[in-house]
Amino acid sequence: QKEVEQNSGPLSVPEGAIASLNCTYSDRVSQSFFWYRQYSGKSPELIMSIYSNGDKEDGRFTAQLNKASQYVSLLIRDSQPSDSATYLCAGYGGATNKLIFGTGTLLAVQP
Amino acid sequence: KAGVTQTPRYLIKTRGQQVTLSCSPISGHRSVSWYQQTPGQGLQFLFEYFSETQRNKGNFPGRFSGRQFSNSRSEMNVSTLELGDSALYLCASSTHNEQYFGPGTRLTVT
């Protein structure tokens, strides 16, 4: 099993809908997780961090961490075409406790 | 507060040459990490520096090296460039756990 796994997508949602992005992680990854948004040709931008079990909300974004099931998700409410990007999940882990990224999920919000 | 800056933004080099990339972290951040991003491999960790010491290293050959200066600015060097080194090289600075990326350096090796 990869340390951090994401479905590559694309995930297509209509404008105004809720986009749900998921990420699973192995035992080798710690409990601190991060969501980055990366537009095509740009660098990743940190949008959410979550350290404890449960939900964390910031504007239209909600991050959810479920330690028992080893998954972390990102919900985007009222999706906009400007949310179309690749979303990267990351967590600290491995033998040297470095930040490990998933391969990213491409989100396409259809107008 | 100014963000992470990287120079140059774009670079074209020939196989066999070497290249040096520079990164200036966010003011107050003492940790700098470097990543290589390619379409096929995604984001791959190169190394991390903290207070001028390499604290972590990824699985890259010795042609890839880095250093950090006393002002926390960092450089990475790639020697004997190969075609496969063409990638977006990203620098991220951090304090505590959250890493913030610079705009990256797009390296093309011909």
Write phi, then psi, for A3 (nearest 5 degrees).
-65, -40
Cβ of B98 under 8 Å from any chain A Cβ? yes
Cβ of B50 under 8 Å from any chain A Cβ? no
Q: Does the pLDDT of residue A1 top 90, yes or no?
A: no
pLDDT at B38: 93
Rounded to whole angstroms, the Cα distance separating B44 from B35 reads: 5
Cβ of B103 under 8 Å from any chain A Cβ? yes
CA angle A104, B2, A90 (to 5 degrees): 20
When mean pLDDT is compared over A43-47, A50-54, B40-44, the highest value belongs to A43-47
Give B79's pLDDT tier (boundaries 50, 70, 90).
very high
Contact yes or no for A94/A28 (Cβ under 8 A) = yes
Which of B59, B60, B101 best probes binding to A when mutated, by most A CB atoms within 10 angstroms?
A: B101
Query: Which whole-number Å values give the CA distances from A98 to A94, A95, B60, in the listed order?
Result: 6, 8, 14
- Amino acid making up residue A66: N
Instruction: Test B98 with A34 for CB contact under 8 angstroms.
Output: yes
Q: Does the pLDDT of residue A31 top 80, yes or no?
A: no
The overall average pLDDT reported for chain B is 95
Alpha-carbon gap: A46 to the closest alpha carbon of chain B (Å): 7
Residue in this structure with the two tokens 């105004």, named with its chain if needed: A16
With beta carbons under 8 A apart, name residues in chain B contacting A100.
Answer: 45
Q: Does the pLDDT of residue A24 top 90, yes or no?
A: yes
